[in-house]
Every structure is written in C-alpha cells, then in structure tokens.
Structure 1
Amino acid sequence: MNLSLILDVLPLLADGMILTAKLTTVSIILGAFIALPLSLMRTSSTVFLFVPVLVYTFVFRGTPLLVQLFLVYYGAGQIDWIRSSAAWVILREPFWCALIAFSLNHAAYTTEILRGGIRAVPFGDVEAAKALGMSYALRTRRVVLPAAIRLALPAYANEVVLMLKASSLASTITLMELTGSARKIVAQTFSPYEVFISAALIYLGITLVISHVFAKFERHLAKHQQRNSQTGNSRLAEMTATIRRPRLPGSVSR
C-alpha cells in the first residue's frame, strides 16, 4: 500500500466531497420537510389520510434506492408528456434526478421514524394539553412534535448517516460525487486500493462530524429536559410542603 498516494489523492477528491455534502444536505432538508406533515397524517385515524402515506412509505422502503434512482433518471425520459413539459428541464439533469430520488426515499424512512416518536409521546401529556384547552394544531406544535423529535433523534441520526452512504449511488447516473470521482481517478492511476481508501477516509470523516453534531444536540435536549424536570420537582415539593404544613392554633383559614 502506497501511503503517499493516499495522501496525494485526498485533495483530488475535494470536489466530489463537496458535491456529496451538497447532495446529502439538500436531500435531508427536503426529506424532513416532506416527512413532517406525512408523519402526522400517518398517525391519523382517518383512513383517507393515513392509507396514502402508508402506501408511499411501503413502496419507497420496500424497493431499492438504486431502482428508484434509475426510474427517475431513465424512466422519466420515456414518458412523452414529461419530455414536452417544463419538468423535463429538471428531469434531464442527473443532479436533480438524484435529489428527487434521495429526498423521496429519505422522506419515507423519516416519516416512519417520526411516526414512532409521535406514538411514543406519553398519553398523559396529550391529555393534559387537551385539558388546558389547546387546539390540535397548538398541542401538536407545543407538546407532541417537540417530544416526538426528541424521542426519534437517535434513529434519525442513523438515517442521516445511511443517506450519506447512499449518496454514492449517484455515481451510477454520471454524477461525479465522491465515489464517482474516486472511480475516475482509479481509471487514471490504476490504483483502486489507495484511491478507495482515501474516499473511505473522507466518508468516515463526514460521518464523524454528523455523529458528533447529533450527539451534542441529544445532550443539549437531555439537559433541557433534566432542568425542566428538576424545576417541576422543586415546585411539587414546595406545594407538598405547603399542604402538609401544620396549622397553628387560633389561625384563621383562608
């Protein structure tokens, strides 16, 4: 193994790394925006709301991402009305096709992750919000979603890492992201071992950054939850002490 070649290849993969980070970041953001309302529909008891979302998540989680990518990139061009519409301006570009496929796939998994978080919110918290007169929109925004996101965060962090690794499939539709750039350099240097080790090191570095960010965010939420719990316990202790305080003789009750 040529260590110097590994170090020399790392700067050559910079452009591919930037494209990988861009594709992954935008896919995650779009997927999260799509998944947020779909997760609420998925937990609804109305058939017309949760059944379409159930079918959507089943299809996208039950088929390979590579097949979905090929259907968007190659399949869209086979439909005449798409080729003659304004959508063809977007669907003929490999970057936008990869972004659409990755966003829809990520949204399907994120929807199910958030659904699990929403289902795990304590029933008493929801009932307390109803007792306070909160509307559905208000208690969803103030009670349900914050607790659900906190509960679903570890699983969502894993999904983000998986999305990063899945972005390597974009090289199959001529995108020169990190894996595509590595394959191009391999064709020039005939050194696949060193080049792909360099690419793997970059993937590991990005994964380390993602894991560190989510771990720090989880610790922040845990501190916030612990602080609120301590405040609630202290208030409860004060109320209990007040209730149990003995009444002095001759005192007038209020």
Structure 2
Amino acid sequence: MPKPFEPGEWIVLIASDPPRRWIARIGEKFSTAAGVFDLQDLVGQLPGSPVTSHLGHRLFAFRPTAADWVMHLVKRQTQITYPKEMGYILVRAGVGPGARVIESGSGSGASTLLFALAVGDTGHVYSYEQRPEFSHLAQQNVAQAGVAHRVTFKVKDIAEGFDERDADVVFLDVREPWRYLEQAVTALASGGTLVVLVPTTNQVSETLRALPSLPLIDTEVLELLLRHYKLNPDRLRPEDRMVAHTAFLLFARKCAL
C-alpha cells in the first residue's frame, strides 16, 4: 500500500493534455495558466491523486522518481550526469544495496544522489571534489533528497589518492581522468569496476593509452543516445529534436595479478 502524502513533501504534478510536469511541495499554493492549486488538499492522499484548481482544471500528483530528482530538483552550477548515462552505469557496474562507491568530482551532486539512492542504507558513497563551493552545493542537493547519511563528502585533490580501499566502484567525472587512474585502481577492490565519463573523443583516447600499464581488463567504451517519440498512434514518429551526444563512458574491471 503506498504511503499517503505528508506536509512538506516534494511532489511531481503532471498534466495529461498536453503532457507537462512541474515540481512543487505539499502544503503550498501552486499557480499555472490552469489556475491556482491548493496543494494542502493532497495531505493524506495517495500518489496518483488529482488536485483541482480554482478554475476546475486537474493535475495529478506523484512522488518524484530518481530521474525527477536529477532533472528538476537538483540545483546546478555544473554540467550533470544525465539519467540515461547513470542508468547504464548503475547496471553495468553492479551498483546496488551494500555497494561502496567512490566518485570524483561531486559537481552539483546529480550522480552522487543517484549512487546514494542505489546503494541503500547498507552501502556508502564517498564523493571527492576540489572546489568547496561545488561540494557544498552537492551536499545540499543530496540532503534535500533525504539520503545525506549515505554519503561522505571530501574536499581534496585526488592526485594525492583516495582515502578508501576495496571500493566496488570508482567513478571518475573529471577533465583529465588518465592522470588519476593509478589512484582509482589502488582504491578499487579486486574485481571492482572503474567508470570514466568524459565529453570528448580525445579524452577517451588519452584514457585508453594509459590503461595497458594497469591491472584492468574487460574494457568497454560507448555512448548512449535517447530519442523520444510523438504520442500520436496514427502518425507515430520521432520527436523533431533530440539531445544527441552528452558523454562517452569507459568501463574496466580490476583483476588480481
């Protein structure tokens, strides 16, 4: 049985025609061209319940998914890792309850948040960032989602190495990841997964050149493309625009020598 909405909860409000979504909080008044919605009316209601404006229009209320948190609730000062990449990273690297994940850098905390949701209360995320202002923002975004207890934030230059050992995953989202591969491998457990995210092919090439000297195998490089379709069953076709390239992903597994 779903848990009823409580005062102060973040919710997603969804209109069906035309499809549109907004982020709001239970207990507030929310205004659109369709009128003013008193979200206090949703207290005690179940997810999926409607709320009606003073003009008689309806929106439907849901709890935010992980994608909603990242795309609509994370305050950004940096480029974020998008759900299409993070979804594959979580599956490919085997991030689940109990996993220990190291990431660098924290940025705005989008990937930190998704890792924290995935590892559960039995796992932990260690998030490194050189710039204090970014680390502070990431901490705020993770706390807003209610998973701050699953993350340890550190302001540190990873050239000095990571403090942890035997991590299941090390995720490098930095400009020159090839400079920190030795530090990442040292922090990884045997059998652990290295994940590198970069936006350009020359960064991938530099990283690949640095791999042969390290105890890493099962290397994979890829990018993911996501295309939405227009919701007309009689004239089904792709949307006119799409975000084509966002990032390249590189994966490798640490082996015992």
Normalization by structure 2: what TM-score?
Answer: 0.22
Give TM-score scaled by structure 1 length. Answer: 0.22
Relative CO higher for 1 or 2, CA cutoff 8 Å, sep ≥ 6?
A: 1
Asked which structure has the greater CA Rg, the reply is 1
Higher helix share: 1
Structure having the higher strand fraction is: 2
